[in-house]
Amino acid sequence: MTEETIFSRIIKGEIPCDEVYNDSVCLAFRDIQPQAPIHILVIPKKPIESLKDAGPEDKELLGHLLLISSKIASQQGLTNWRTIINTGEEAGQTVFHLHLHIIGGRKLDWPPG
Ligand code: AMP
């Protein structure tokens, strides 16, 4: 069984969040430690630890997360932004519930650190 994370507790309503979008498949809220003027997390309600744990059965869900993240970015007034999925500790993943970062509102450097 997938371990409880801060994000599964947010989904259950046990921890508050600054919600920007909610549907039957996913929830989006502002990151508590924003790295840019706009920094939003999009998480599936299904508890998937990391992108590497998603399977073919999650194809529609993953497409939904990407399309919704684009819709949210546009609704936030962004025309340029970055969508990031950190996978694994060495890539910077700290919460082991799959999430997409939407980061924008400032010039973003490349490559990332
Ligand atoms: P990652 O490092 O890719 O796993 O991203 C996890 C993100 O979750 C970080 O950017 C944190 O700032 C953010 N975060 C952790 N706890 C909360 C919370 N309670 N509400 C909103 N964002 C959070």
* Catalytic position from the list 39, 64, 99, 101: 99
Active site residue 99: yes
| Residue in the structure block whose two tokens are 């684009």 | 70
Distance 100 CA to ligand 1 centre (A): 10
Could you read off the pLDDT of 23-44 as tens digits, one per residue?
999 999 999 999 999 999 999 9
Would residue 109 count as lying in a domain?
A: no
Q: Residue 110: inside a domain, yes or no? A: no
Q: Which two tokens stand for residue 45?
A: 């309600």
Residue 113 lies inside a defined structural domain of this protein: no
In this prediction, residue 2 has a pLDDT band, given cuts at 50, 70 and 90, of low
CATH number assigned to the domain comprising residue 86: 3.30.428.10
Residue 1 has pLDDT above 90, yes or no: no
In a domain, 27, yes or no: yes
pTM of the model: 0.98
Number of domains in the chain: 1
In a domain, 112, yes or no: no
List the domain range (segments joined by +) for residue 16. Answer: 6-104
Residue 95: Cβ-neighbour burial (10 angstroms; 0-12, 13-18, 19+): middle
Q: 10 Å Cβ neighbour count for 32?
A: 10
Dihedral (Cα; 106, 77, 59, 88), 10-degree rounding:
20
Domain-embedded: residue 51: yes
